Amino acid sequence: MTKGKLRDLSFFLSPMVLMVFLFYLVPLVMTIYISMTRMRNWNVERYLTEFVGLYNYERLFYMFQHDPTFKAVIMTTLVFVGITLVINVFGGLALALATFFINERPASSYRLLWLLPRMSPIAVYSLVWYYFFHGSEIGTLNSILMSLGFISQPIPWGQVTPWGAWSVIIFVNGLVGVSFGMIVFTSALNQIPKELVIAARVDGASSWQISRRILIPMIKWHLLYVLTWQFLSLLTTYPHLFLLVQWDLVNRDYGTTLALYVFNTAFGRGEQDQGLAAAAAVILSIIGILGGFVTLKVLKFERMMKKPRGDF
């Protein structure tokens, strides 16, 4: 690469490099440092210089061994991320394939219907499901089941541990996340030449055979992107969970993921322990980095990348 091209490349990349430095690297370094202090109640003057090394990480390890509440948080994180990830990726793929084979007008209406949860404000969307899963007679689900005679007493769905609480948070978040995959996969499918599908139809291929043999293999890159993005997003998401837990719709222990635990520990009610929260946040970041790396390796990201055409 010539000096001129290197200069041009540096010029165009410098804003992004600056943003990554200011908004990613600096907060990451600060979080790592705070995780090695006794920082609590945001008393910066007293605690920020009180260096304790790996003490907060040892506390987390001890809690993981002996604290049932923290064990529930870890188990909830694993179940929530694993199941919701499958729903978001394969649910989005199924919706995109389903609308690919129907006329554009009903397909657009169908996609818009699935986008409504994402377009709704988080508080409004969570409030809808609060009343739907409410554990008393005012809950929509309980009212329907009682009127049909399936149950005689209201069921506190979110307080039934662990699977009742897990089912509610997975359902609420899965319904939001599935629309993201649907949009990405729909865009990818629309880029595939129609001649391939028409030729397969002429040869007598069914919709399933076309999907399995032609469409899905041609959107591997998008599958990788949605899988990685959703994994990292689910690992760090907490707004919907926060509201559902605050409103006592779901059990506090089995409705709290590690991301929500970090938020509550740093900013929640009572004594706030930023040192412990920062240590948990660092572990969460390490899990995210390792998970993303494994995902790229398993799906053979390198083979999907092609050298750019041109004179670079």
Residues 6+ apart with CB under 8 A from 302: none
What does the pLDDT read at residue 312? Answer: 46
More confident residue, 250 or 310: 250
* 153-196 residue pLDDT tens: 899 999 988 999 999 999 999 888 888 889 899 999 988 888 88
- Cα(247)–Cα(267) distance, integer angstroms: 17
| pTM metric for this prediction | 0.86
Q: Is the pLDDT of residue 40 over 70?
A: yes
- Cα(157)–Cα(144) distance, integer angstroms: 14
Q: What's the whole-number mean pLDDT along residues 209-238?
A: 88
Q: What percent of the chain has pLDDT over 90?
A: 38
Token pair of 180, please?
């993201």
Which domains does the chain carry?
24-116+159-300 (1.10.3720.10)
Q: What percent of the chain has pLDDT over 70?
A: 95
Let me know if 251 is exposed, middle or buried by CB neighbors in 10 A (0-12, 13-18, 19+): buried
Model confidence at 228, pLDDT cuts 50, 70, 90, reads confident
Q: What's the whole-number mean pLDDT along residues 97-114?
A: 85
What does the pLDDT read at residue 112? Answer: 84
Model confidence at 152, pLDDT cuts 50, 70, 90, reads confident
The per-residue pLDDT of the chain, averaged, comes to: 87
Please answer whether residues 35 and 282 qualify as being in contact, where contact means their C-beta atoms are separated by less than 8 angstroms. Answer: yes
DSSP track, 86-145? HHHHHHHHHHHHHHHTS-HHHHHHHHHHHHHHHHS-HHHHHHHHHHHS-SSTTSHHHHHH
Token pair of 110, please?
């169908």
Model confidence at 44, pLDDT cuts 50, 70, 90, reads confident
